[in-house]
A and B are shown apart, each in its own frame.
Chain A
């Protein structure tokens, strides 16, 4: 279906009552936020600064509340259904990738319930960022994986293609704003997104890396690439596929809650044992873990690389630690 851009405000208006979230400028950075009544939604952005993974996997999630000295637990109600508008294909793929983990040895109720209540409306990338490398890791600027509906910006209109029944339902609800697409539109789309793919200059050759990484365990390369790491969580917190969490109790007076929150393998206390022993005592081991987890362990377990090539960790690393460059060096060592 086609949505003429003149109808865009009406289209957004129709969705606003349904708990609509879209990229919004907060300070100088784009982030997904609730769209209030009568607000304009702009899709003029590359990647949001913080990925939308938090909508299914919040940075802080209350599992239950309790009072000290009392065994009753109150579970909070999960939020209602929501629509995310303008999700980039890489971020949607990431949701599909981490879902494998949350369905692994048991079904994680928190992630899965939230995920089920989400409708992801994607926006294919006409103009990928300079550190994007999604095609190298199985994605594409117009990948539909993980999305319910994908919009392609054709200039004057959006071509809307539903991917799931949720997407179909959304198209049905807004059908009076839409017109049938034609062969021309599809042709334009194909040309535009082939061009978009060609704009991506950064590449990772991952052939052999998942199997090869364990053999590089003590390689001097890890010291080299981690020497400048300051040990912050920018790369992991802003990564759409990083999914590590910690569970902590928070007590205030007699009121307490158990919550789980994002954790980062780049933090010192991440693998700190009660004994005081730390299995990853320095940033060398921690950096090695970040790369191994994404490009080896996850592949081994779930048959997919846990990196979607969104480029955030490269763009935002305070000291220019560049995963594409690390993987190039890994590849070099393997040859």
Chain B
């Protein structure tokens, strides 16, 4: 099975007067698992459909496995695709669903049999081969759809929100299955989702998209720890990152002023030279630490609400100037509503954003 890279060069896509993608560049390496993440309408599915050849492009080029396939038919691109609605052929058995593409392509019968058998074994579909799609559960249907993609031995596998129609538990199960599949096949996979957990768990790299533009393309860790702008910071992570408005002050040691509090920024890696300017401080709930009241960097906050989440507890607090934030603590925290806590915002875990442009400072 060959593994193709995908190279997208200044791609333009539009419908009528609407520009969906403009001058988009993206390079997916062979064997990479790339996730396109973004809210609905950000152009991620459009991009995937363009790679598949299911919509026409206005400009730019798409190369798969070193071949220019910008104007090639979907079947000639060396791709396979899994859809959100499964898109199984309702009048065919599971076996026929999986073998349809191969028989259309005129693959010899024993080769079809071998490949279907192989995919069925991999996805535990052996006992379901003679059923109709209507006789399967949602999870089974999506496994069949993945099997139908696998038998094509494609260079690139495209997934269009494959788990969005499933309930939470099945989604988690199938997510692991897809990850295992990628580890086993080492195939190139491009995966569209709006679920940031799926993106973080599956991806080698994530491309976070908004408004038809890739905001950030990086490893899940980098995306999570060092979001390049406020959009990425707020879209990735659950519970969401806290944002505290204030300003950067350079009176001697650089610090962040939020109301009556001053946070030291010693240890924060600024991208450029910090200037005195309004800014927004972002910090993830799990990076806020409890500390003693005599800690010079301590900030006192009043507990407003406690949300036990099983493994840990989310504590909602308010600062003296009424700024709200949440932080994560062990499940056995003895915290009650109305308590006053002393917390610390470690500078190395912070993200600072320009107030106007939203870009990381």
Answer whether A and B are interacting partners: no
- Seen from chain B, the residues whose Cβ lies within 8 Å of a Cβ on chain A are none
- Seen from chain A, the residues whose Cβ lies within 8 Å of a Cβ on chain B are none
